Structure 1
């Protein structure tokens, strides 16, 4: 038994030793394989870079060859073009050349610069010198009428669309209306500043100069601004009747506005209080309250108090209401009439002015636009004045009529309630 145990232990030790040796050998093989794999990967990467570079070079060569082939093919196609196609190309090139020559000729004519040769090729140095000469101040001596209406020698200079003049004593802008050269004033410069600026320009060749960009049109427009009286006078004879109607409408509106402002404030609770006093048979307080009422309400109460409930009382109350309505609406028609007549008079003035304008056109012709436009503008002034009068008159008429109707409606409501009130007149007289 012991012998078997010893043999078993020896066999186990041998197996353990053999397994340790096998593990070491496997690890060594794994390390060797990993090193070989790493080397193979490096070789592959090196070969990849080399091949990629070669492929890039081949692609570049292919691209160049394709371009060369395209050029060769284009040359062959050019050789195979028909005569008509070549003619059309030549005509297109000639048209392009002619267009360019026209541009060159137009530039040369506008700048007045000489062309260098028969091929119309401009020497840009010559053009530059020519334009610089044109842009430099070029003073000329001319006879000009100064501000004192005397003919004197002036040094003149053209600055685009305007011209200036200066001498030893004065300076200004040149006005060539009616073919007469005259020194004109400018709203942006006083005489001292303008004289010093132009003197500096003549002496040094540069200065800061302010001028009217409208070339005097602003001054002309400013001179066209008329006063109210001159504007009305320009409208012609029909403007005065319009103003007369405007005066009537204004005076009537002021009178009626003052009248409506003085209208009494109506007591809407008047009938209820009167019925309360009658129910309480308190004649003293009733009479006292009646004396505090507005005149129109007091007259209505007196009619109802003196007349029993009947058709007669209703007729008396209606007559009183109509009388008050007549006083409220009196003269309001004047305002409405003026508002209606004013634009008609304006239209009449316009028609008269147009007739006069056409007569002038028949005599002097329509060549001068100022004759036509001036007559039309003068004819339209009466229409404008008529509308200026009519619009406020209509507004005033509407407001005043609304105020009158509102007062009449409220007063009519009070009278309607009052017509149903029963006064015990006998008892009130005995208590008095």
Structure 2
């Protein structure tokens, strides 16, 4: 039993010894592999480090070379800066010396240059606005050169300035025929003949024309002055003949303002609807006055003729009254007087026909004018509410309507009132004649009745 146990232990020890030996062998092999691998990695790192060290040395060498180059350039630039600074100081000193020398040499020429340049600017502005630019601008380049100059003008430039002054003076007194580009109302441009009246105006076959200096063309004014000259009327001036011509002393400003001056139709249009109503009332009133005045004049002539021949009553107011007497003379005086009074009143109605309407229209016209005034002021205040009162032109429409309707109302009322007064006086005069004749007829009839009664009493 013990021997087996001893055997088993011996076997187990042997097996353990074999296993330990195998582990040692395996461990030794793994250790050798790791050592070899570590040696190889160390060799690779050593080679890599050598390469990096070589690169670093090459970069260091390149940077040192660049630093040396930049240091050399810095030295050169510093030398240039020192040279330029010295040159700048010399230039400043020389410039100061030259400025002082220029100031001493020029003296008062600087003030002369200022005066010359200012006069050149004034002359250039005059030439650009004047109609003499159309044909008298030979020396304008010399004037423009002086205006644009920054230094003292030369003698040729001063001579050109003097020649330009002389040219404009001569042009202001010339009457010359020229050809100018003309733009008509359709926008087409063509050449036309014109007469230049000094520096005051250009006259073509259409009258005065406006010179546009920026476009170098002429255009017609919107409105020509009354008795304004045309090309055919002033041809005698070119031959030296004496002729009276209307000119614009403002050189076109007054002619341009003529377009803003309203004529009669423009003023009537500014009155609006109320203005047209007032004019319609005036036309109706004048027509009534004309018709009634003609009728009363004819009646008056017929009455005068009837007074010369009372024995033959005609177709007129007095004749009809005489006809009433012929028909009613058998009646007594009281009845005859009433009949004649009735006839006179009937004739009075015919004589005064239309006069009440004329009086009504005369009273209505100023009331309509007042209505137009109120309407215009309402419109003006509405415009002020919308746009303010900064621009008077915005309010001009309403104010114009207010004033024009007032004027139209007064102008319409005055002739109608005058006509009504004249026609009423004529009708009253005719009525007085009729009443006088009627009273005379009644008096004559009363005398006849008294004579007849006296004879009857005597008999």
Taking structure 2 as the reference length, what is the TM-score of the superposition?
A: 0.45
Taking structure 1 as the reference length, what is the TM-score of the superposition?
A: 0.48
